[in-house]
Structure 1
Amino acid sequence: MGSRKLAPRCSASRWLSCCSLPAPRRSRTLPRPELHDPQGLTGRRVLITRSADRAKPLASLLTGRGAAPLVLPLIDFERARDQAILDDVLDRLAAGEFDWLVISSITSARVLLEKAAERGTTPAGLVPAVTRVATIGPSSLRVLESIGLSVHLAPTELQSADGLVELWEPAPVRVLLPQADIAAPGLREGLTSKGADVTSVVAYHTVDYPAGAGLRLTAELPAAVEVSEDSLPPMLSPEEARAALDAGTVDAVVAASPSAVRRIAETLLPLGNCRLIAIGRPTAAEATRLGLTVAATAKEPTPDGIVAALESVFANEGNPQ
């Protein structure tokens, strides 16, 4: 119940090499907001607090619904400071020392892609057949599939670290858990409570945007390979975002992680009439802890889930009870 088990698939042929994306477009003169549909997304201006390439799937959906997506990157990702420790555990992974590899974020998948490329192989070549792969939700599941890895366990109901722990069968298995430096301890502790011997390693650092020169993760996932400059949503400067919020011309801001919520609290308050949308329950909980009002939380931590949450908010405002 609540998990997805997938048939093995040919991985090597599906792996794509890293590439560099074009610089996102700056929007010095902000587009005028069109008259919006009081019960829908038409004309709504939605601020996405991610880099333009990572925001593209959500931006594409919003554009298709008639909204005007805008991008303000607030966080970025740098390579792990201690590459020796990371390389050591990856050597152990390749040697078959772990029963499970748990990938708890898309950025961890990017690290895996980058480290495999450094070794002249693919992620499937780095993860031996004896090691099963688990993740926490549909977005990371699709990303792992796209780089050639078969996912053996992923929650479909509670799509989070807690959901994966709930599904996890108690057993004395060896688990490799590469995470951000600021990752909450819940997943590691939850797996340990189920009898797992968890090796947790810092795979990357979450930092304020932009990442330091030469430190930013550059491996791009296959879904982003064909992104062109013209298809990227407009990227705002902090000053432009502040001016738009003060003018009341931003209808919603999307937070895609607890760290993004913290940066919103540090840099964008007050939000005024702008609605805060959280990608999932951990992000919503962090917003509440910081005293922010969450207008809606996506039921699924995916672009479709965020769009559904936005539509629900505006539909309810257009039909007051």
Structure 2
Amino acid sequence: MASPDNSKPLTGRTILITRAAGQSNEAVMLLENLGARVLHRPMIEIVEPADWSELDRAIERLDRYDWIIFTSANGAKFFFRRLDEKHIRELPSSSVVLAIGGATAKAIAKEGARVDLTASDSRAEGALEAILEHGGGSSAISGKRFLIPRARVARDFLPDELRKIGAIVDVAEAYRTIQPEGAGDEIRALLESHEIDAITFTSSSTVSNFASLVGEVDLSKILSNVVVACIGPVTAATAREHGISEVVVPDVFSAAALVEALGNHMTKS
């Protein structure tokens, strides 16, 4: 019998990834480099808002904002698309532009815009810490105007905490996530025939939509023989709400770190 290839520890393993179409290339490549067979079945679809008016009002008074906070690459993509449609080429020089996470910073740079500050911690808690440190503390932040272009459904921790210390915060819908149709029966069949070894979730929406598509609120039974990996603690908390007790979570909240953590876990198990 041939000895196993230690450079490809996931050979013979099938991994289901659930991230939106067009946003999983890195994870697919990394998993395939480890020898895995990858199935990509998106659990969310990223689309523009049903109504742009909220963001348009913010754009009309863009120079009034002291801070513009981008919480995701998707938020940056749709925000700058709207700016371009309005023939606005750059952000106000007086505004501090904050990117939450390296992927978001790269997305902003791709649009040709500047990033003044990047919060390395991709959680809202890390962003708040970065704002307070850069901005000179709570008293200096009080009275400042913030714009947060983001998804329609998202955690309110950051805007709520900023308002508590006296900041004026406008949250504007820049995009929304919807649940794609189909794939539920196929995924159930694959799970019931034990053809999936692991599944990755990259947002709470991917977990909730997965549960909806397979028709199970409690996922503990249908995923009992599957390794579940989540990109961060918020997503992991949603997975636990759906009955998944054991979740692999990387120390750094990125696609590369998620794949590494999953590979390490499956190699040991």
TM category (shorter chain) comes to 0.7 to 0.9
C-alpha deviation, 1:316, in angstroms: 2.6
C-alpha deviation, 1:36, in angstroms: 9.2
Distance in 1 of aligned mates of 2:104 and 2:92: 19
The amino acid of 1:176's aligned partner reads: L
Distance in 2 of aligned mates of 1:36 and 1:117: 49
For normalisation by structure 1, the TM-score amounts to 0.72
For normalisation by structure 2, the TM-score amounts to 0.85
Q: Structure 1: 5+ residue runs without aligned partners?
A: 1-34, 211-235
C-alpha deviation, 1:102, in angstroms: 0.5
Q: Deviations over 1:97-144 (max 9, x none)?
A: 1111111122111211320231245xxx24122212112212212222
Distance in 1 of aligned mates of 2:90 and 2:60: 9
The amino acid of 2:231's aligned partner reads: I
Q: Percent identity, aligned pairs only?
A: 29
Output aligned runs, 1:213-292, within 5 Å. Answer: 237-268=183-214, 269=219, 270-292=222-244
The amino acid of 1:206's aligned partner reads: T
Cα distance change on mapping 1:167 and 1:51 into 2, 3 Å: closer
Cα distance change on mapping 1:52 and 1:248 into 2, 3 Å: same
Output aligned runs, 1:91-106, within 5 Å. Answer: 91-93=60-62, 96-106=63-73
Which residue does 1:227 correspond to in 2? none
C-alpha deviation, 1:287, in angstroms: 1.3
C-alpha deviation, 1:159, in angstroms: 2.6
Contact preservation (8 Å) 2:201, 2:230: yes
The equivalent position to 1:310 in structure 2, one of 232, 256, 262, is: 262
Counterpart secondary structure, 1:276 = strand
Q: Deviations over 1:59-108 (max 9, x none)?
A: 11111221122111111123222222221111211xx1111111112211
Cα distance change on mapping 1:36 and 1:265 into 2, 3 Å: farther
Output aligned runs, 1:200-215, within 5 Å. Answer: 200-209=171-180
Distance in 1 of aligned mates of 2:165 and 2:128: 8
Counterpart secondary structure, 1:297 = coil
Contact preservation (8 Å) 1:46, 1:68: yes
Counterpart secondary structure, 1:295 = coil
Cα distance change on mapping 1:101 and 1:199 into 2, 3 Å: same
Contact preservation (8 Å) 1:100, 1:131: yes
Distance in 1 of aligned mates of 2:166 and 2:268: 45
Which residue does 1:184 correspond to in 2? 155
Distance in 2 of aligned mates of 1:290 and 1:144: 34
Aligned CA RMSD, in angstroms, stands at 2.2
Counterpart secondary structure, 1:285 = helix
Q: Structure 2: 5+ residue runs without aligned partners?
A: 133-137
Aligned length: 251
Distance in 2 of aligned mates of 1:135 and 1:304: 19
Cα distance change on mapping 1:52 and 1:68 into 2, 3 Å: farther
Cα distance change on mapping 1:312 and 1:194 into 2, 3 Å: farther
Output aligned runs, 1:1-321, within 5 Å. Answer: 40-93=9-62, 96-121=63-88, 125-156=89-120, 158-169=121-132, 170=138, 171=141, 172-209=143-180, 237-268=183-214, 269=219, 270-317=222-269
Contact preservation (8 Å) 2:20, 2:46: no
Distance in 1 of aligned mates of 2:19 and 2:256: 16
Cα distance change on mapping 1:208 and 1:167 into 2, 3 Å: same
